[in-house]
Structures are given as structure tokens and as C-alpha cells.
Amino acid sequence: MKLINSLIGGFVGAIALNILHETVKQYYEKAPRIDLLGEEALEKSLDAVGIDPPEGKNLYLATLAGDVISNGLYYSAIGFGSTKNIYIKGAVAGLAAGVGALQLPEPMGLDDLPVTYSKPTKALTVSWYLFGGLVAAAVIKGLESKRKF
């Protein structure tokens, strides 16, 4: 049951992160464009193995699905072990993902501008991943608390 609770919490955190991203990018020009970074990564990855990447809306949807799956599995790790300091684990996981989103694109040969465009863009990138980690931690904690009764 712990594994299921961790997976549920991880995926809720990932979905919350994506809802936040998709909403804010429509209204704030300096919002991180994690979607653009993901699309570039998917295109380059598929090109590298000789597969034609999807285009347009299909590229966007494939990237969104990959993002939810990868972040959901990543955030699920927050639930492993004790729930004693789960909010600290959620915060550390979220901050690590956010800093990674800023630091890893360039060494990976990707354009980092969608997440490093400005100081507010950088701050929001890290904050959104932190938010996802904390949501995951809260859901996991809640599910684990109900399990004990």
C-alpha cells in the first residue's frame, strides 16, 4: 500500500506542477516555458535514434505526457521510507528538480532560455518544482495517515 500511496502522491504533485505551469504561462510573459524545453529535448532524443519526432500539438501532448510520467515517478520517491520528515523530503526533491531544470539544459545541449530568461523566470522555475514536491509530500502524508486507522 505504501508504494501505491507514493505513486498517487507523486503523480498528484506532477499534475499540480503542470496545471500551475500551463495556467501561468498564459498570463505572464516571464513564466518559465518548461514545455518548450521538453519539446526540444524530445525532438533531439528522437532524432538521435532515427525516429521522426511528432509535430505541433502531438509534440506538445507527447512532451506533456512524458513530463507528468517522469516527474510523477521522481516525486513518488518522496514517499519511500518514513513519513516523519516528509515535507523536508518533498522540499529537497522539489528544489533539486528546480535547480536541475536551470542547470542541466545547457550541458545537455539544450537551449536554457525558456527557464533562464529572467530572474523571475528562474525563481518561478525553482518554485514550481518545489510546489510539486510539497504537494506530493502532502498527498502521501495524507494517504499514509488514513492507512493507519
pLDDT digit string (tens) for the chain, length 149 residues = 889 999 999 999 999 999 999 999 999 999 999 999 999 999 999 999 999 999 999 999 999 999 999 999 999 999 998 889 999 999 999 999 999 999 999 999 999 999 999 999 999 999 999 999 999 999 999 998 876 65
Burial track 49-83 (b if 16+ CB lie within 10 A, e otherwise): eeeebbeeeebbebbbeebeeebbebbbebbeeeb
Which residue range is the domain that position 39 belongs to? 2-147
CB 143 within 8 A of CB 9: yes
Number of domains in the chain: 1
Q: What is the DSSP letter of 62?
A: H
Q: What residue spans of the chain are helical by DSSP H? A: 2-24, 34-48, 56-76, 86-103, 113-116, 119-147
Cell of 103: 542547470
